[in-house]
A and B are shown apart, each in its own frame.
Chain A
Amino acid sequence: MQDRFEEYIKTRHQMLDVDPPDDEKIWKGISVELGKTNRLRISLLRAAAVILLMISSGVAVTLIINQRKAVKMNYSLQNISKQLGEEESFFRLTVMHKLEEVKKSGTKGGDYNEMMEQLEQIDRQYETYMSDLQELGNQPKILKGIIRCYEMKIRVIEKTLNETEKNKHYENEKHIL
C-alpha cells in the first residue's frame, strides 16, 4: 500500500502548490535588496573611477615633473653662449679631477662626509640658479651665481685635500717624535 500511496502523492506533486504567497510583500523585500546591490555596485564603480582618476593624475604630474627635470638637466650655459659653455666645461672637469684627487688621497670619515654635505648644498644652490636662468633669462647675477657655485665646489674640495695633507704630516711628525 505504501508504494501506491507514494505514487499517489507524486502524481499530485504539481497540485501541491496550494498556498498563495504574499507577492506584494515578498517582492518589496526583493526590490529593496536588489536596490542595495545596485547602490553598492554604483558606489564601487564610483570608488574605482576616483582611484583611476587619482592614479592617472599622479602619472600625469610625475610625467610633467620628469619632463621639466629633463629639460633642466639638458640646459647648460652652452645654451647661452659658446664662451660660457667652455667656461662651464672647464669648471666641471676641474671639479671631477679634484674629486679624483680626494679619492686617491684616502680622505675618509668626518672630513669626507663634511665635504660631501657642502657639495650637495652647493648643488642645490646650483639647481636653483639653473631654474632661475630658464625662467628669467640670462641675467648677469644668475650667471655669476652659477660660476660661483663651481668655484665654491673647487674651494671646498681643495680645502678637504689640504686638511688631509695636514693630517698626514701631523701623523708622520708624531710618528718620528
Chain B
Amino acid sequence: MAKVFLPSVPTFGKTVVFLLNKTDLTANIPDINQELIGLCIRGDRVAQYRLYKQYSRTMYNLCMRMVPDKSEAEDLLQEAFVKMFRELPSFRGQSTLGAWLRRIVINQCLNHIRKKRPVFVALDDREVPEIPDQDFSFNDISADEIHQAIMRLPEGARVVCVLHLLEGYRHADIAGMLGISESTSKSQYRRAVNLLQECLTKKMYAGQI
C-alpha cells in the first residue's frame, strides 16, 4: 500500500492523505449508485426519484446557504437535478455521484448569483480584524442556529464562506470561480467568519441559545 495524494478532493485547508493502491488512481471510483444510475440513464422514473430523494435534502440546504430564498433555492435545485439527469450518460465516475451533483448545484447557484447582481466587492485587501479570544465554548450552538446565521450573512461573504468553510474549496479556486482576486476571497471569508462568530456569540451572551 502506498500513500497517494488526491489534490482534486476538497481538503478543508489540510492535505488529505488516502491510503490507496496505485492502481486505484487510474480506476474510476465505483459508485454505490451504479445500478441506480444505469436505470436513470434508461429513463426509469422510479430510479430517478430514488436518486433525487437520496440527495435532495443535502443539496437543498446547500442551495439555501448559497441563495437564501426558499423559492429560488427550489428552482435551482430543480434545475440542477434536471441537468444531472440529462448529463448522467456522460458521468464517467471519476468522482462520486454526490460530489458531481454538488458541483452542478454550486455552478447553478453561482450562475444565478452572477445573473442577479455583482456582489463581490473587494475589501481593499486590508486585514479584517479578528474578534478577540474569549473563553467560552461553542458547544451549545445548534446546527440550526449556524445554518440560519450563515443564511443571514451578506451575499459576497456568505458565498465565499460556504465554498471555503463548508465545501472545502481553496481560495485560489474560489477566486477563479467567482472572478475575483484570491485576496478578496480571503478578506470576504474573514469577514464572514467574524460576522458569524459575532452573531452566534452575541446570542449566547444574550441567552438566546
Chain A interface (Cβ < 8 Å from any Cβ of B): 1-2, 4-6, 8-10, 12-13, 15-23, 25-27, 29-31, 33-34, 37-38
Contact = CB atoms under 8 A, between A and B. Distances in A.
B12 to A, nearest CB: 6
Interface string B119-135: 00000000000111110
Q: Classify the interface of chain B: helix, strand, loop or mixed.
A: helix
Q: Classify the interface of chain A: helix, strand, loop or mixed.
A: helix
A135 B141 CA distance: 99
B85 interface: yes
Interface size class of B (residues with CB under 8 A): 35 or more
18 contacts: A5-B138, A6-B193, A8-B141, A9-B196, A10-B12, A15-B143, A16-B146, A16-B166, A17-B58, A19-B64, A21-B56, A21-B60, A25-B74, A26-B56, A26-B60, A26-B74, A29-B78, A34-B45
A21 B85 contact: no
Given A17-B58, A31-B45, A37-B86, A9 B165 contact: yes
Interface of B: 12, 43, 45, 48-49, 52-53, 56-58, 60-61, 64-65, 74-75, 77-78, 81-82, 85-86, 130-134, 138-139, 141, 143-144, 146-147, 150, 165-166, 193-194, 196-197
B171 to A, nearest CB: 14
Nearest to A1: B133
